[in-house]
Amino acid sequence: MREVAFASCYVYSPTGAGAVCERSRLLRELLKAGDARFMARYVLQVHQQSQDPMQLAGFFRPDDVLVPVPGSSPKSSAAMWVAADLADALAREGLGALAWRGLHRIRAVRKSGTAARGTRPTVALHYESLLMDHPPIAPQSVVLIDDVITRGRTLLAAATRVHEVLPDARIRAFALLRTMGMISEVKRLLDPCRGKISWRAGDAFRDP
């Protein structure tokens, strides 16, 4: 796929200064830790934003199947999977028909959040490391769920894998946090947006 629509609710500043940037880093830590109370609180906020006509109204559909994006390495059955927990919480909140763990990481890749610039996994590397199951019933609408989006390489690769198995499905993506790496200060944590991830000049680009 050359383009995927996405939505996000909160912003994260990895290096910015100020109280809001510090809070954004704490938010990311709590999310990565899989804190259940934290998850429920912020998913409720996503639900509220999905009902606001100025924000995310209409992004989530009643027939959506929410497919969590795997982490950087293959998971054992007992391993924590934040995106899957997020997908489950969103489904319980009524933002979709159900969550389905049909996308898998079959080979480990370097974590984007800890990799130096220029060494982060490419879209092609993500694509080669992912495998999509065939669902029992083909959904008409799929939303890929991730905890954090940076450039969107993982989501673009994941969307391509889903499209191969479900060529007639409408595919979108949602990430709770979006990284604001080039901004020295953010004014607020809650900043819902809709945008797109595009394939341009051999790489993924996120807008906004």
Q: What is the per-residue DSSP string for the chain? A: --EEEEEEEEEE-SS--SHHHHHHHHHHHHHHTT-HHHHHHHHHHHHHHHT-TTTTTTTS-TTPEEEEPP-SSPPPTTS--HHHHHHHHHHHTTSSSEE---EEE-S----TTTSPTT-SPPHHHHHHTEEEPPPSS--SEEEEEEEEESSSHHHHHHHHHHHHH-TTSEEEEEEEEEE-TT-S--S-SEEEEEEEEEEETTEEEEE-
For 89-98, 112-121, 140-149, which range has the lowest pLDDT when averaged over its residues?
A: 112-121
- What pLDDT, on the 0 to 100 scale, is given for residue 119? 76
- What pLDDT, on the 0 to 100 scale, is given for residue 115? 60
Say what the pTM is: 0.95
* Residue at 37: amino acid letter: R
Q: Which of 184, 185, 176, 119 is nearest to 153 (CA)?
A: 119
- Domain count of the chain? 1
Stretch 164-183: mean pLDDT, rounded? 94
| pLDDT tens by residue, 48-95 | 999 999 899 999 999 999 999 999 999 866 679 999 999 999 999 999
Q: Which of 90, 101, 88 is nearest to 61 (CA)?
A: 90
- What pLDDT, on the 0 to 100 scale, is given for residue 77? 64
Could you tell me if residue 68 is left (phi over 0), alpha (psi between -120 and 50 degrees) or otherwise beta? beta
> Across-strand partners of 100?
none
Q: Which of 118, 110, 105 is nearest to 157 (CA)?
A: 105
pLDDT at 116 over 70: no
Confidence of residue 36 (pLDDT cuts 50, 70, 90): confident
- Mean pLDDT score across all residues of the chain: 93
How many percent of the chain have pLDDT more than 90?
84
Residue 47: give the domain boundaries: 3-207
How many percent of the chain have pLDDT more than 70?
96
| pLDDT tens by residue, 5-21 | 999 999 999 999 999 99
CATH number at residue 102: 3.40.50
